[in-house]
Structure 1
Amino acid sequence: MLIQYLLILAVVLILVFFLRHHGTSRSGATVKIGFALFLVFGVFAVLAPTQVSRLAALVGVGRGTDLVLYAIVVAFGFATINTYLRFKEMELRYARLARAIALRGAEPPAEAQDGK
């Protein structure tokens, strides 16, 4: 019984942290809604494990724990791809910024300075 309270508290803290610290980022509302639904599913799995087993049987998975594991694997894959794409975007921004700084600080060629 205590573990249920601890797990639900952990899920709520993760959700609050996510919503507070990602509010200004470029992650879309769909990502936030999906994450929130995944956390709600986690709370549901903690509170009603037999219902998760029934849901698993309904979708063709043997056990509820397997269904939760599959959901975690998919969520991990999504998070990995999302992080990769963000890093690639940040890398492109830094390259553009470095280019702009280099161009701003560049000196014209010696021929152009002499007026030739």
Structure 2
Amino acid sequence: MLIQFLLIGTVIVLLVFFLRHHGTTKTAAGVKIGFALFMVLAAVAVLRPADVSKLAEFVGVGRGTDLLLYALVVAFGFATINTYLRFKELELRYARLARAIALRNAEAPKHEDLNVDAEDPARSA
């Protein structure tokens, strides 16, 4: 029962954190620290599997391997959200860049085009 609350709480916290703080230097540092912490815990799980089993029992999971699976599901969700938000940010940057280039390379209307539009208002519509 405790593991369910922990997993759901972790997912909600990750989602809120990334939706509110994505794209800042502080977030990038947090991602690196989180990744490093995840790697350290992975090494501990490999070196001391009995401790992972004890932790699993403490939080209400039958086996340590199940706890690791749950942690990987959360990590996968985290990576998916992070990738999605990065692509959205890049898409916005490309759109802004394309607009800036289009405005910089825009040509002024020619004099003949202005005269035609003034003579026949239906053609300008």
Displacement of 1:108? 1.4
- Matched residue SS, 1:106: coil
What fraction of aligned residue pairs are identical, expressed as a percent? Answer: 72
Runs of 5+ consecutive residues of structure 2 not aligned to the other structure:
1-24, 115-125
Q: Which residue of 2 aligns with 1:43?
A: 43
Q: Deviations over 1:43-82 (max 9, x none)?
A: 0110010110000001111110001010001000000100
Larger radius of gyration: 2
Superposition TM-score, scaled by structure 1 size: 0.71
CA shift, 1:100, in A, is: 0.4
1:8 counterpart residue number: none
CA RMSD of aligned residues (A): 2.2
Query: Normalized against structure 2, the TM-score is what?
Result: 0.66
Where does structure 1 lack aligned partners over 5 or more consecutive residues?
A: 1-24
Taking the aligned partners of 2:40 and 2:66, their CA distance within structure 1 comes to 17
- Whose relative contact order is higher, 1 or 2, with alpha carbons under 8 Å and at least 6 apart? 2
2:72 and 2:109 map into 1 onto residues whose CA distance is: 58
Number of corresponding residues:
90
